[in-house]
Structures are given as structure tokens and as C-alpha cells.
Structure 1
């Protein structure tokens, strides 16, 4: 095997796991899941049926990624992040997977510990969700969101640092705000 699965974890049949990926203690990867290369799944992580996870994704302990959620390359999920896939669940009246609301976490986004992502949203590229935030609407690229419900409180660089009022980062990257959206300026 070109990946590592801890002996206490379960990987169902029909799963694809990329080279260099590590699945740690007491985790479960369910049928149809696709996990890319060089990912790390911490202790007690559940990857539900048909979930797609890109390359270099880090999922910390106690996270369940439910069907309908997609994590692109370089996404980070802090400990105990909560994803949902049904806006109005009923135990007595289950709707089934065809009614799950899709959630997409785009390239490079980071979600802090204990944040809740209500389904049907897109978390933009390189955005940063603060610990404990509750995301109820889509998040733009490079946006910094915090609170309950979460609101935008600033902008962040690809490196994770908060941008100054001129949309410049201490790492040297520069950005431009246009019509409420932030764009990275090409490096010379």
C-alpha cells in the first residue's frame, strides 16, 4: 500500500485513497469516497459515502464529512468541525441522498476548530473561518469570517495573515478589491 491506515480504522470496499495519505485511529472511510494524495485524517474522522477530498487536505480529530460535501486541494479542517447536508432533517421522514444540499470547500480554505458549516454553501478559495463560527451563507475568496451567525470581519492572504487596509500582506503579496471581491495581484 502506498498509504497508511491505522489498524483501528475501517475502510469500506469501493474507496479510492491516494498515495501518501494517512488515516489515523478509529476513523471510517465509507463506500464511494475518494481521498487524494498526501492527506491526513486525524483520530475519529468519518468520511461518508461518495465524498470527494482533494490532495494535501488535513482533517483534524472528530470531524465527519457527510455525503454532499466536497473538499478541494489544500483544505484544512480543524478539530471537531461540523458539516451538515440537510437543512430540515426529520428522523421520521428521511429524504435520502438525492435531497442533500451540496457544500463545496474550495482550494486552500481553512476552517477553525468547532466551526459549523450549514449545508448548501461554498467556502471560497483561501478563505479563513474562525474557530466556533457558524457559516450560514457562502464565503468569498480570501474572506475572514467569524461569529454566530458568521459575518465577514476582514480579508486574509494565501499565507493566512490578515491583510491591512491597503490589501497588502506582510509576506509581500498584494490584492485588489473590485466590486466587493478580492483578487490577488500577479507577482512580478
Structure 2
């Protein structure tokens, strides 16, 4: 059973079974959210957003048009996604670039992800990182701009 807090504004009919949506969340009509997700308080999800199954979105995150989030992704508190490379007031691109967060990836608290990038499968973005380039699968990145520190393997406790 899906849980929707009475103070959430959920306009989308495409919310998967078992997903929990907390207070002060806004989900626009075109968004698609998978099964068994947890959307924490004070999140905003725009129309052209797809979220997979078992995704955790912590407090204070906005998911903008063009974002594709695969299954089993963790998005930390106040992570920031962008979808317009050259934003101007009241001037929108014909189409927003697609940003992909692949299966099992983790985005740390306060990280910034620029538009049109791919965060690879099971990659980890450190807290506060500013991601300006694609992140390969299983890479651990942090810093400003984010740089690869090492690659994670099956022996890493963070992947169990």
C-alpha cells in the first residue's frame, strides 16, 4: 500500500505500490515513481521525471524535468540537480537534457549534478561534490570539480 502524507501534493497517478511520500512533497502530474520508494519531506518532483523502484530521496531534493533515476538509487539530503546549461528567466529550452542516475548509485548530501550527465551503476558521489562530467560505473568521486578517487569493488562494505 502506498503511503501519502495528508500534507503532500501528489498530482501524479503513476506512483508504485509501497512507496512512502512524506509531508510537504509536491509531485507533478507527469512524474512516474516506482515501487517501494521513500520520498522524504520537502521534495519537489517535476513532470518529465522517472524514478525507479526502491529509490530513496532524502529531504530537500528537487528532481527536475529530464531526470531518469534507475532502481536502488540513494539521493542524499539537499542534493541538487540542474537541467538547463544556460538558464535565463522565462526562457526555456525546447527540450531539457537527460540526466541519468544508473542502478544502485548513491549521491551524497549537498552534491551538485550538472545537466545531461550520467552517474554510472553503483557509483558513489561524495557529499558536497560538484559533478561536471559523467561518472563511470563503480567510481567514487568527490571534490569541486568532482574527481575519481578510486573504483569500488565487491569487497567494499559500502556495496553490501
TM bracket, shorter-chain basis:
over 0.9
Q: Deviations over 1:18-69 (max 9, x none)?
A: 0000000100000111100000000101111121000000000000000100
Residue equivalent to 2:41: 43
Structure 1: 4+ residue segments shifted above 3 A: 157-162
Q: Give the aligned partner of residue 134 of structure 1.
A: 130
Unaligned runs of 5+ in 1: 163-168, 172-188
TM-score, with length taken from structure 2: 0.95
Q: Distance in 1 between matches of 2:82 and 2:153?
A: 27
Taking structure 1 as the reference length, the TM-score comes to 0.81
User: Which residue of 55, 58, 61 maps to 1:57?
Assistant: 55
Structure 2 runs not aligned, ≥5 long: none
Distance of 2:20 and 2:42 partners within structure 1: 13
Q: Do residues 95 (structure 1) and 121 (structure 2) align? A: no
Q: Look at both structures and tell me which one has the larger radius of gyration over its CA atoms.
A: 1
Which structure is higher in RCO with an 8 Å CA cutoff and minimum separation 6? 2
Whether contact under 8 Å (1:128, 1:160) holds in the other structure is: no
| CA–CA distance in structure 2, aligned partners of residues 156 and 78 of structure 1 | 19
Aligned twin of 2:105: 109
- CA distance in 1: counterparts of 2:156 and 2:112, whole angstroms: 20
Distance, in Å, in 2 between the alignment partners of 1:57 and 1:101 is 22
Distance in 2 (CA, whole Å) between partners of 1:158 and 1:56 is: 20
Matches of 1:157 and 1:55, distance apart in 2: 23
Is the CA contact 1:126–1:158 (under 8 Å) kept in the aligned structure 2?
Answer: no
